[in-house]
Amino acid sequence: MTASFVEVTVAPHPALPAGFCGRWKQAGAATEVTEVYYAPDEGPDGLFLVQAVGSDGRRRAALQVAVEDSAAGLSLLVLGGDFGLRLWRQGGPEWAEPYLLLAEEP
């Protein structure tokens, strides 16, 4: 049986000048997601709205998929479009991430 992999490629752009490229072993089916529980480097953790952004600026629902991660075990990979993800809280500032790797929900 052949293993399936999820590849995340984010093109460099002003919000993420370095871009990103990574690959994980897929452990489940991808589903759409509009909110994630996230602990940012700055500010309190909690529920954040999330969207995928394409290189044309169009937004759509992000995807989440269970993956195997050598450092964290089974995790949830949240991925977006060519320009990655945008996260924000209601009424708060927005920022870009190339992807999120979150602990799998209990």
pLDDT by residue (tens digit) across 55-98? Answer: 999 999 999 999 998 777 899 999 999 999 999 998 888 999 99
Provide the 8-state DSSP code for 2.
P
What is the tens place of the pLDDT at every residue in 15-57?
999 999 999 999 999 999 999 998 888 888 899 999 999 999 9
Does residue 26 contact residue 4 with C-beta atoms inside 8 Å?
A: yes
List of residues 6+ apart from 105 with CB closer than 8 A: 76
* CA distance linking residue 89 with residue 14, whole number of Å: 21
pTM reported for the whole predicted model: 0.90
